[in-house]
Amino acid sequence: MVYKLVWENLKHRPVRTLLSSLAIGLGVTMMLTLVGVGEGMLREQEARTRGVGADIIIRPSGSSVIGIAPPNINEKLVAWVLEQPHVAQSTGIVIYPLGGVSTVHGVDFEEVTKMSGGFTFLSGRPFKDAQEAIIDEYFAKEKKLKAGSTVKILNRDWIVSGVFRGGKLTRMMLPKKILQDVSATTGKVSVIYVKLDDPSKSAEVITHLKKTLPDYPIYSMDELASQFSVNSVPELKTFIGVVISLSVLFGFLVVFLAMYTAILERTREIGILKALGAGQGYVLGILLRETILLAVIGSAFGIGMSYVTQWMIATFIPASMTQAIVYEWWPIASGITLGGALLGVFYPAIKASRQDALESLSYD
Amino acid sequence: MTEPIIGIRDLRKTFRSGDVDVHALRGVDLAVERGEFLAVVGPSGSGKSTLFHILGGLTPPTAGTVMIDGQDLMKMSDSDRTRLRMKSVGFVFQKYNLLPTLTVGDNIKIARDIARVKGPLDKQFLEVLDALGITDKMDRKPRQLSGGEQQRVAIARSIVNHPAILLADEPTGNLDTENSTAVLGLLRDLNKRLGQTILMITHNPDAAAFADRIVHMRDGQLHAA
């Protein structure tokens, strides 16, 4: 019966219920979108890295595990690595940051093609001239480019020679030598990808490489993949913490205001319930249930809206961001929002439950 | 001789209004027998509503003795008075006081829910519902009913838990003559049919005439008719 009263109260003020739920849901959406973008971009980066087809990656000394690697590995090391036991192929790649998380990669196209098993071109062809670049389908979609278009990278105009299917290494590639010249990093590479004749020998080869290159972070691709998580990006963890705090505050304020005004509006009804013999616990129970229901509806809205943000990101900025739907965060985000909402209802609910029955009945 | 269901001796109630003490009740003595229909008649400010609120456990008395169905109101805590309202007293108010978001049926059910009464409605109450003429209006919201119909629902709700006493505060105050007569007739019928003890507060002598006994209240004291 109490649930029916709670439900009828929410139905009685549909606009208030809708707005409160939407506002509560915004907090859930903020959390799910942020976590989803973090997770989505890491997963995508992992997939693109795996798409190279290498078994081992060598990063510059002093670099973090998944940050943008600076081009300070001597390119001669690529040839040395190729001479090591069980190494079937090695290729050095130059990574140049373009701002934010965008990068352009300088590659030896033949080597990368051989290692990865080949690129699929949706239009155009690989670069042949020094002024040509290739881009993936997502970058092409976001920037509205196609084979033959001109794209400005590093203050130069490049002709897009081809658009390839995404999932291989990066979104924009230039000839390695050209990028080295343009970025004044001749003779240097950012990472070395290594393919083995027998992938099960990864640990053995890594141990061998580390003897000669003790300062270089060297990972198997499985090790590297395990590092693609939110926990490996302290800045993201901090930012998620900030957004969670904001969501709790948001839920608190929305519910506080909504329930405070609802209780004022329902003073007489609370008096009626008390006249019928409802105690403090009964009144408190009604308001807590109403808040929980608002938070549940709000969370459902929030989860629904996270699909909308995912669609918007995939439609308008597919190359810049990728949002995953992180199901594990549904109960977490909902729980955090519920916590904020319960904090918000605490004072109004206590106030309502202690209302004097007689004064409440006299309220008009 | 059985114990009166309501026994009041030297009841006093003093309010603080700003810096002034207001003596709303100044030594009320009253005994109401089980099954009696009593009307308390008096002008505004005579103290009759204060008496109603004390008997209903909505406000505590200042001094005196008030026994309701064997329970001493003077010794009751807030939660005891909540229990009194839940189990022993039913209210009918001038403004009906139905919950606007609930249907007629649910307004009745919530009184049972608060009193933690489970199971289907008993036969006797179903007969009362029939007599009140609201059985076909159980799915309607209060705003879809006339004043007279709303007051009948309020009467049904007040007795659904079979309280020892039904307290009615100006039950016809918002009704036209025809509906007033009908509601008062129903109260009298409940009194005769179920032996329901009813204490009705009114300023209207015509309404009071439906009761078995009338007492007058003036300046916080009762006077026999």
One digit per residue, the tens of pLDDT, for chain A of length 364 reads 888 999 998 888 899 889 888 888 988 998 899 889 888 888 888 888 888 889 999 998 877 766 677 788 999 999 999 999 999 999 999 999 887 668 899 999 999 999 998 899 999 999 988 899 999 999 999 889 999 999 988 888 999 999 999 888 889 999 999 999 988 888 999 999 999 999 999 999 999 999 988 889 999 988 887 777 767 677 777 888 888 888 888 778 888 888 788 888 888 888 899 999 998 899 999 989 988 998 899 999 999 999 999 999 989 988 778 899 999 999 998 998 888 888 888 888 888 888 888 888 876 6
Element spanning A342, H or E: helix A329-353
Nearest CA in chain A to B96: A272
Please give the pLDDT value at position B225.
62
Count of CA atoms in the C-beta half-sphere (13 A) of B50: 27
Tell me if B82 and A8 make a contact (CB, 8 A cut-off). no
Measured distance CA(A9)–CA(B99) in Å, rounded? 10
CB-closest option in B53, B102, B114 to A277: B114
Q: Where along chain B do its domains lie?
A: 34-58+77-224
User: Which residues of chain A have a Cβ shorter than 8 Å from any chain B Cβ?
Assistant: 1-2, 4-5, 8-9, 11-12, 268-269, 271-279, 282, 357-358, 361
Q: Distances in Å between the alpha carbon of A175 and those of A123, A181, B88, B149? A: 18, 10, 91, 87
User: What does the block give as tokens for B62?
Assistant: 């200042």
CB B170 within 8 A of CB B44: no
Count of CA atoms in the C-beta half-sphere (13 A) of A190: 23
Please give the pLDDT value at position A68.
73
Q: How far is A238 from chain B (nearest CA, A)?
A: 45
CB-closest option in A1, A277, A361 to B86: A277
The pair phi, psi for residue A311, each rounded to 5°, is -65, -40
Sorted by sequence, the CB contacts under 8 Å of residue B205 that are 6+ apart come out as B41
Residues from chain B that touch A1, judged by Cβ atoms under 8 A, are 106, 109-110, 112-113
Q: How far is B189 from chain A (nearest CA, A)?
A: 23
Kindly report the length of chain A.
364
User: What does the block give as tokens for B194?
Assistant: 């179920």
Fold of B34-58+77-224: Rossmann fold (3.40.50)
Please give the pLDDT value at position A202.
92
CB-closest option in B79, B87, B99 to A272: B99
Letter string b/e over residues A267-303, b meaning 16 or more CB atoms within 10 A of that residue's CB: bbbbbbbbbbbbbbebbbbbbbbbbebbbbbbbebbb
Measured distance CA(A278)–CA(A272) in Å, rounded? 9
Tell me if B99 and A361 make a contact (CB, 8 A cut-off). no
Please give the pLDDT value at position A364.
64
Residues of chain B with pLDDT under 70: 1, 225
Please give the pLDDT value at position B11.
93
Interface test with A, best of B79, B86, B101 (most A CBs within 10 A): B101
User: What does the block give as tokens for B163?
Assistant: 């309280």
Place of tokens 């729980």: A335
Q: Distances in Å between the alpha carbon of A292 and those of A6, A338, B72, B105? A: 10, 7, 40, 26
Q: Burial level of B214, CB count in 10 A (0-12/13-18/19+)?
A: middle
Please give the pLDDT value at position A66.
67
